[in-house]
Structure 1
Amino acid sequence: MKAISYRRYGGPEVLEFGEVRDPKVGPDSVLVRVKAAAVNPVDWKAQAGYLDPVLDAVFPVIPGWDVAGVVEQTGPAVTEFQEGDEVIGYVREDFLSRGTCAEYVAAPLRTLARKPRNLTFEQAAGIPLAGLTAYQSLVGALRVGEGDTVLVHAAAGGVGSMAVQLARHLGARVIGTAGEHNHDYLRTLGAEPTVYGEGLAERVRALAPDGVQAAFDLVGGDALTTSTEVLTPGGRLASIADPAVLGLGGAYVFVRPDPADLQDLTDLAERGALGVEVSATYPLEQTAEAQQRNAEGHTRGKIVITVD
């Protein structure tokens, strides 16, 4: 099959487009014909070697953890899916090797759920990692509920935009930080926008004089510090960007595959409570360019790789 792969750690220059061996389908796995794969910062960070202390790389490595596609074959122990089913997946294993930037991926059953019927493959590919990150942070770590006011940093990005929609679905009021050019977009999601940077604590206090019950940090550093300044007494704090949150009494969230959570996201999408903004698409052979654009930051929604 054709795929993007790399044989050593590095930047976009190490990516190669060409033939690699077809994936083997284990007893509890499903062979997915890839239609689309979303790009996430973790893709190029893993490729640069940042995850080497915790995940072995079995070279050549195919990057990508997000997928939307069609079941081509099921392992002998799989009864949940059959050939022709449309699925989405957060295909993260305990090592780097068999990613989703390819014509096919062998996805463990624990990483998959049914694709939302009302979304395109490109839109659906943007749900798994970003959606699960937001879901597990808001529902699990932050316990967001009716009547809460939630501060979401970087609210126009992939995870942030999901967090805004999920918090609104849970009955919360949302204050979201973003550049001014994304403020109208945040309003369409149901958030009250404000610009990030110096003076953020004062701007949040102007919108929520009594403080916020929960803060979701996707940036780290000053954003994390500001979050502690605007929380109500007993307020909850979670970060996906800065482990220093643990020293502040908050939760550090590293998303994990969960088919039940992923199915909940599919259900929300089909009910119109969760949408995906696709800011750009790239063909498989231009994955390096897609990674570079993602690394520049300030992306609204998701960047997606399409596979013919």
Structure 2
Amino acid sequence: MAKRWIAPRAGGIDVLELVDAEVPAPGPGEVTITVRAAGMNPADYKHLARLEEFPAGLGYEVSGVVAALGPDSAIATGEHTTGTEVIAFRVSGGYAEAITVPAADVYAKPAALSDPEAANLLLAGTTAAEMLHVTRVSDGDIILVHAASGAVGVSAIQQARRLGARVIGTASPHSFDRVREFGAEPVAYGPGLEERVRTLAPDGVDAVLDAAGTDQAVDSAGTLLRHPDRAVTIVAGPRSREAGFTAIGGSMPASKAFRDGARAGLIALAAAGDLVVPVARTFPLAEAKDALRFLQEGHPGGKLALLP
């Protein structure tokens, strides 16, 4: 038996229950992981409203240790032994003390990463990688990243800089140092945004990456973007659709295929110290509801993790 958080019925954070549950023994192609940290993402609480089958678990990424392997169950990086420190993504039900998952979604954890960092690497990292991919960001580009101080924004900045792009990022003034730390030039969102961006990039920008979903993020692209087909959003709405933004999301087949293929490369970057995951705070697993409410406030200052 292991503790795990479930949604027993439709609703928000308040319906969640911490229960004792059997951890299935790993079958062929599966691995059981003792969870050391569960990554937390806004998708965790946003998806509660869209669940259709119950009880449902929460959490898409974890770090931990291999406890058992089923027959023919090498993890993605080829390890075959219990005790291996690992990252798992994309999984279901990561808010737990232990979890059995497909071995193909399990990778050796870089020693350089703490468990909370490792548990928060891949959802934000693969999202950012896909945003750069669909907007064809390359050496010499000037790009505008909206919500640059958030988890996806910080990862996008680092990955874009490695591609040779110059990054301008929108943020609130109290987050400017965070944006600068990762190599981007911060500008304040709000009235006058376009003029502030023009001060840094008089001829406009080559691509827009929207992780904010605000009307201003969409509308400013119309005047700042030199290439109308190079705008992407992860917060799609009628306004962004009308503006021609490409919408991506983990549930879309093309997005899932790209993100699955990007996992190993991002882990290698993190192992080399070239992709940093800022962690703001950790919570005991039992305090998942409080942690989700804190995350829902929108400005945690870095990633959050649950520690069983």
| TM-score between the two structures when normalised by the length of structure 1 | 0.90
1:173 maps to which residue?
166
Structure 1 residue 151 displacement after superposition:
0.7
Letter in 2 for 1:228: G
1:87 maps to which residue?
86
Cα distance in 1 for residues equivalent to 2:110 and 2:242: 39
- Contact residue 113 and residue 259 of structure 1 kept, 8 A: no
Q: Secondary structure at the match of 1:33?
A: strand
Letter in 2 for 1:89: A
Cα distance in 2 for residues equivalent to 1:264 and 1:197: 36
Moved over 3 A (4+): 243-247, 257-260
Moved more, 9-18 or 119-128: 9-18
Q: Does 1:114 align with 2:108?
A: yes
Letter in 1 for 2:66: V
2:211 maps to which residue?
218
- Contact residue 3 and residue 18 of structure 1 kept, 8 A: yes
Structure 1 residue 243 displacement after superposition:
4.4
2:20 maps to which residue?
19
- Contact residue 62 and residue 89 of structure 2 kept, 8 A: yes
Match of 2:231 among 231, 237, 243: 237
Structure 1 residue 38 displacement after superposition:
1.3
Cα distance in 1 for residues equivalent to 2:104 and 2:243: 33
Structure 1 residue 28 displacement after superposition:
2.1
Q: Secondary structure at the match of 1:212?
A: coil
Cα distance in 1 for residues equivalent to 2:25 and 2:93: 13
Structure 1 residue 24 displacement after superposition:
4.1
Structure 1 residue 300 displacement after superposition:
2.1
2:9 maps to which residue?
8
Give identity over the alignment, percent: 40
- Where in structure 2 are the equivalents of 1:159-198 lying within 5 Å? 159-198=152-191
> What runs of 5+ residues in structure 1 fail to find an aligned partner?
93-97
Structure 1 residue 106 displacement after superposition:
1.5
Structure 1 residue 284 displacement after superposition:
0.1
Q: Does 1:227 align with 2:216?
A: no
Letter in 2 for 1:116: P
Cα distance in 1 for residues equivalent to 2:288 and 2:85: 23
Q: 1:26 to 1:254 in 2, by over 3 A?
A: farther
Structure 1 residue 113 displacement after superposition:
2.3
- Contact residue 278 and residue 302 of structure 1 kept, 8 A: yes
Structure 1 residue 301 displacement after superposition:
2.1
- Count of aligned pairs between the two proteins: 295
Cα distance in 2 for residues equivalent to 1:74 and 1:194: 49
Q: Secondary structure at the match of 2:11?
A: coil
Q: Secondary structure at the match of 2:8?
A: coil
- Where in structure 2 are the equivalents of 1:34-45 lying within 5 Å? 34-45=35-46
2:127 maps to which residue?
133
> What runs of 5+ residues in structure 2 fail to find an aligned partner?
251-255
Q: Does 1:72 align with 2:67?
A: yes
Structure 1 residue 81 displacement after superposition:
3.2
Q: 1:235 to 1:114 in 2, by over 3 A?
A: same
| TM-score between the two structures when normalised by the length of structure 2 | 0.90
Q: Secondary structure at the match of 1:194?
A: strand
1:95 maps to which residue?
none
Letter in 2 for 1:197: G
2:253 maps to which residue?
none
- Contact residue 4 and residue 97 of structure 2 kept, 8 A: yes
Cα distance in 2 for residues equivalent to 1:215 and 1:110: 33
- Contact residue 207 and residue 227 of structure 2 kept, 8 A: no
2:34 maps to which residue?
33
Cα distance in 2 for residues equivalent to 1:13 and 1:234: 42
Which one scores higher on RCO, CA 8 angstroms, separation ≥ 6? 1
Moved more, 113-122 or 288-297: 113-122
Cα distance in 2 for residues equivalent to 1:247 and 1:117: 45
